Amino acid sequence: MNLTTSIIGIVAYLILAPIAGGLLAGIDRKISARMQGRCGPPILQPFYDFFKLLEKEPITVNKVQDFYVNCFLIFIIITGCIFFAGGDLLLFIFTLTLASIFLVVAAFSSNSPYAQVGAERELLQMMAYEPMILLTAIGFYMVNFSFKVSDTVTSDVMGIIYLPGIFIGFVFILTIKLRKSPFDLSMSHHAHQELVKGLTTEFSGRTLAVIELAHWYENIFLLGIVYLFIAHSAVWSPIAAVIVCLAVYFLEILIDNNYARMKWQFAINSSWVVALTVGFVNMLVLYFI
């Protein structure tokens, strides 16, 4: 990507990602409600909730908490900008991890036992999904001999042809990153799991709105990684990639509404088993061919 294309990608992400992320959240609620035999809220309900949170009186445990939450949003946005500017996947992973750490520290700073338990579970989830995310970046490197997102989307080959195992592994840990059952251990985006919302228990008003906004941004670039498995130099590939992204997101909603929450031990063990089997074996086969 040249500089102009990178700037366009960054600007488009900054403006369109929260809109698309909010719409996805609304569609998620609507489909989940239909699966449960309910009518459900309007698709625009996440936006109504977001602006309502902004209007609430700011109540926080301490000022440090707000600082860490704002850092979480900033680094999530930086992560997405790196991705949509066609940047380095390894740098993308490191900034994403740093953003998650800021959210964990924000929860710990509240001194709430519920938030601290949620923060500990968030750390366990990070241990579960990080190996597979790293394998995904390495897999793209083995196919394109580059960690650059721009090199992947302009490649002559479709990534999923050479990385079917890594694709399966990434979709598996995507359930954790999207905070879907059975792996919504630290917090849930829906009210069907618990009354106390894990690490966000002590967040309210504008602070909670910032976290929701960050998750909208985050969900878009996570689906962007799914996009990379399909996108290549063919003219039709962007359309096919978007369709696959929507299909994967629907699959995650389906899983969310059909499985109860599992224990953290199962989340870590299953994620590492998937990473070592389908992920590592895929890389091993790719190395020898």
* DSSP string for residues in 19-51: HHHHHHHHHHHHHHHHHTT-----TTHHHHHHH
- The answer, yes or no, to whether residue 193 has pLDDT greater than 70, is no
pLDDT at res. 185 = 79
Nearest CA among 265, 110, 75 for reference residue 197: 110
pLDDT per position as a tens digit, 4-42: 889 999 999 999 999 999 999 999 999 998 988 888 889
Number of domains observed in the structure of the chain: 1
Q: Would you say 268 and 185 are in contact if contact means Cβ atoms under 8 Å apart?
A: no
Query: Average pLDDT of 133-143?
Result: 94
Q: What is the 3-state secondary structure (H, E, C) of 262-278?
A: CCHHHHHHHHHHHHHHH
Helix axes 237-256, 3-35, angle to 10 degrees: 40
- The answer, yes or no, to whether residue 194 has pLDDT greater than 60, is no
pLDDT per position as a tens digit, 207-243: 889 999 999 999 999 999 999 999 999 999 999 999 9
Q: Would you say 182 and 262 are in contact if contact means Cβ atoms under 8 Å apart?
A: yes
Domain hosting 121: range is 3-288
The CA-atom distances, in angstroms, between 226 and each of 104, 133, 163, 223 are 26, 12, 12, 5
- 188 vs 270, which has greater pLDDT? 270
d(CA 272, CA 171): 14
103: Cβ contacts below 8 Å, ≥ 6 apart: 68, 69, 72, 122, 199, 211
